[in-house]
Amino acid sequence: MGVRSSPTGAGPACAVDYRGRRFRPVDNPHYPAGTPVPTGRYDQDGDLVWAEFSGAGIRAGRLVGRCRPDGTIDAAYCWVTERGDPMAGTCVSSPTVLADGRLRLTERWRRLDGSVGVSYVEELPAGGMAGTESATAGSAAVEEGSDER
């Protein structure tokens, strides 16, 4: 996973280097197998982690938070749908290393509208196709609330 310290000296090191990793939702009932899914690209400076995501009905989304020493991310997020609807909330994303070395994040989220849930995103393999990812089968996602994240 690679421990990374901040080049600016800000914040403690994080057990996971999220810089440049791309993630997509897996086994989310809102994205049936074979349909396009939003993808997000993460970046990091010490314990500061941020991401930009879009696709599959999301015009633009952002996430920003802090990485705990164990690699868990405490973050706030927001996005605007293709219909123009805003969505925002907070999440705690806990990493698990998959057998092939990629990461899976278990995201426990709470939206400003009060809905809560658990979603899963998995890291795309290196060299994956940007912007054209489709939903795939994997572990079951538990959804409580109305939507992903």
CATH number of the domain bearing residue 67: 2.40.128.30
- Alpha-carbon distance of 149 to 144, in angstroms, equals 10
Residue-range definition of the domain harbouring residue 68: 1-149
Average pLDDT along the chain = 82
Number of domains in the chain: 1
pLDDT digits (tens, 9 = 90+) for 121-139: 999 998 654 444 444 433 3
- Position 141 scores a pLDDT of 33
Tokens linked to 87: 């969505």
Residues facing residue 110 across a β-bridge? 90, 116
Residues of the chain with pLDDT under 50: 1-7, 129-149
Q: For residue 110, which of 62, 146, 59, 60 has the smallest C-alpha distance?
A: 146
Note whether 22 and 130 are within 8 A (CB): yes
